Chains A and B, each alone.
Chain A
Amino acid sequence: MEKGMNLKLKVWRQKSTADKGGIVDYNVNNVSPDMSFLEMIDVLNEDLVKKGDDPVAFDHDCREGICGMCSMFINGEAHGPNRGVTTCQLHMRSFKDGDTVYVEPWRSEGFPVIKDLMVNRGAFDRIQQAGGFVSVNTSGRTMDANAIPIPKEDADKAFDAATCIGCGACVATCPNGSAMLFVGAKVSQFALLPQGQVERKDRVLNMVKQMDEEGFGNCSNIGACEVQCPKNISLEVIARMNREYLTANVKPEN
């Protein structure tokens, strides 16, 4: 069997939210280029467990780029050096033998570290609960969604926005720690569809209010989020949220 790569890892270890935490060095040997980054961390953890050490805590679930759990800031970039992928979709062939790799949790006032690389993304849930929904009558006489005419272009844009997996990479990568790409995506996916019209104004006002309360920063249109977003959500969703918000503010009633 071909011999794998040896890597020097610098991993953030933090026992609890209250703990100060720090970078700890590890060596991982014989890493196959076909492994995903998470599998490489699995190898490290097996080693640690064998030695009787505490394994590195990290979030993951689907391991196929759809759940948005695998938050890792790798070598200075959210989800590592590749574009349009999550950490679980990042393969070790993107690294070279002997590389030093920094692995840190998302850094944001709105995402407190739970342990090691795990952060609490409850802030996103609370933003979503503030307005990221439609009230549909489920009494049995609900109109079939397919029967509602929607321009193809709007449907496409709404779908593009809806591909946001709430991973938080936009916040993690934003120099301002802003969550506006996420909130813009969630506002957009409903604002573009007829089903979203009823709560349209309240939605944007309430979601932005919640976003501010969670301690996220203010967008200054730097655009790093759009580059690092695994789902390639475009800055256009932020422009849409801005105009949704401004019109809702200027014209709060019908």
Chain B
Amino acid sequence: MAKGLFGSSLMKKFWMSITGLFLISFLLVHCALNALIFANDGGMLFNQGAHFMGTNIIIRTMEIVLFGGLIAHVVDGLMLFFQNRSARPVKYAYEKPSASSKWYSRSMALLGTLILLFLILHLYHFWLRTRITGLTVQPTHVFFEGHKLEDLYGEMKFVFSHLWVVIVYVLGCFSLFWHLLHGFRSAFQSLGLNYTKYKNGIAFCGDLFSVVIPTVFAAMPVSMYMGWVH
């Protein structure tokens, strides 16, 4: 092998797309599960789903893999960013990049950083409290058919009662939208799967995914703040 599984430019791209696609699959599961809040049953269905995810051994193991995948995506991305910067040591005096490419395609590192910042806040709000420190709202538990469930729904309502939080979350969703708009199809290109025959299909799925997932995510804090779900 040329430079092993990691060293070369193409292998870095390969890992970027593999981890990216893995994170995309996570987004789908995360989004679908959280959309249970829209059942309008006082969070019953959602709390059961969250309980399952929090206690299932396979899911908990995947959680570790997920953190690993995320870190790999970030580290690989930063490596690409700095290498690419040094590939042009002297900058142009006058550049017109908008003539030949989209701003979000050129700003993946920036968008990724914004998403990461959002993610730190997001993990602090929910992951830390459900997995480690315990929920902030009282009562922290609800009962369902004799089972004691953590009231993550109540926690969501509490967190999303703050306007600034809602705004930050919506901005996070916008960053995600643009990141996905480039990242989804880019992943297939890096894997060499962007065959002429599939190109339009991949582009369509990518655009659809980039719009739908962040929109559903953004709808959660907004509708909780506005009191549209109960």
Contacts and interface: CB of A to CB of B under 8 A. Distances in A.
Given A176-B84, A221-B186, A239-B194, A252 B1 contact: yes
Given A76-B95, A223-B105, A242-B10, A217 B84 contact: yes
A124 B14 CA distance: 24
Contacts of A206: 2
Given A205-B2, A236-B194, A109 B87 contact: yes
A219 B101 CA distance: 13
B87 A212 contact: no
Interface residues of B, number: 45
Contact of A76 (B92, B102, B185, B186): B92
B88 A107 contact: yes
A11 B225 CA distance: 57
Given A10-B93, A76-B92, A246-B192, A222 B101 contact: yes
Given A10-B93, A104-B92, A208-B2, A239 B87 contact: no
A220 B87 contact: no
A239 B12 CA distance: 15
Interface string A43-56: 00000000000000
A222 B196 CA distance: 17
A37 to B, nearest CB: 16
Residue among A81, A206, A209, A211 with the highest chain B CB neighbour number at 10 A: A209
A247 to B, nearest CB: 8
A195 interface: no
Q: Indicate the size class of the contact surface on chain A.
A: 35 or more
B2 A175 contact: no
A113 to B, nearest CB: 8
Interface string A210-254: 011001111111111001100000011011111111100100100
B131 interface: no
A246 B15 CA distance: 11
Interface of B: 1-3, 5, 8-14, 80, 83-84, 86-97, 99-102, 105-106, 108, 182, 185-186, 189-196, 199
Interface of A: 10, 12, 23, 73, 75-77, 81, 102, 104, 107-110, 113, 173, 175-178, 180, 205-206, 208-209, 211-212, 215-224, 227-228, 235-236, 238-246, 249, 252
Given A212-B9, A239-B192, 6 more contacts: A109-B87, A109-B88, A175-B84, A227-B100, A238-B189, A245-B192
Q: Which 7 A-B pairs have the closest CB atoms?
A: A243-B192, A76-B96, A217-B87, A177-B87, A242-B192, A227-B100, A176-B84
30 contacts: A23-B93, A73-B92, A75-B94, A76-B95, A76-B97, A104-B94, A107-B91, A107-B92, A109-B86, A110-B87, A178-B84, A205-B2, A206-B2, A208-B9, A217-B83, A217-B88, A218-B80, A218-B84, A220-B108, A221-B185, A223-B100, A236-B194, A239-B193, A239-B194, A241-B10, A243-B191, A243-B192, A246-B14, A249-B5, A249-B11
